[in-house]
């Protein structure tokens, strides 16, 4: 692939990513997911695209797809606190409380002041 083709591919992915994020911000996750899936096909190593896509999947109620995407981000970037949080929330939505607990703990450990992270962890605590 020529340098021009690589640059064009990157520009196309960038455009799709920003259009997808705009749809996500406007609460249109279906449209967002379509564009973000295309962007990820063009740039499969971009965690920013994968994270936006995971958020779109979560908003669509596609919790297994969201969990898979967040898990891939965690694998690629283990210090990404938001990915741990997203993984925990997705697993909680699937009813997988035990599996969600380690991700929620890590998110809180990385960013203890984040109330959303602490709430996710609280939801992982078994009732006594």
The CA-based angle 107-48-69, given to 5 degrees, is 65
Number of domains in the chain: 2
Q: What's the rounded Cα separation, in Å, for the pair 9 and 43? A: 8
Predicted confidence (pLDDT) per residue in 100-128, tens digit: 999 999 999 999 999 999 999 999 887 65
* Per-residue pLDDT band at 10 (split at 50, 70, 90): confident
Structure tokens belonging to residue 67? 């969990």
Residues 115 and 82 in one domain: yes
Residue 76 CA to residue 109 CA, distance in Å, equals 19
How far, in Å, CA of 89 to CA of 101, rounded? 10
Instruction: Quick: pLDDT tens for 42-71.
Output: 999 999 999 999 999 999 999 999 999 999
Extract the tokens encoding 75. 């694998």
For residue 127, the 8-state DSSP code is: P
pTM score of the predicted model:
0.91
Residues 2 and 33 placed together within one structural domain of the fold: yes
Range of the domain at 42: 1-60
Domain end position, chosen among 32, 60, 88: 60
Model pLDDT, residue 42: 94
């Amino acid at each position: 692939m020529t340098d021009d083709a690589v640059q064009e591919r990157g520009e196309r992915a960038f455009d799709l990513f920003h259009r997808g994020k705009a749809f996500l911000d406007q609460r249109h996750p279906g449209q967002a997911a379509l564009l973000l899936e295309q962007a990820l096909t063009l740039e499969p190593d971009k965690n920013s695209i994968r994270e936006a896509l995971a958020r779109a999947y979560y908003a669509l109620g596609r919790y297994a797809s969201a969990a898979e995407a967040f898990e891939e981000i965690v694998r690629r970037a283990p210090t990404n606190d938001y990915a741990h949080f997203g993984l925990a929330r997705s697993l909680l939505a699937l009813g997988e409380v035990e599996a969600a607990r380690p991700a929620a703990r890590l998110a809180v450990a990385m960013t203890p002041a984040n109330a959303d992270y602490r709430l996710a962890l609280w939801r992982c605590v078994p009732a006594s």
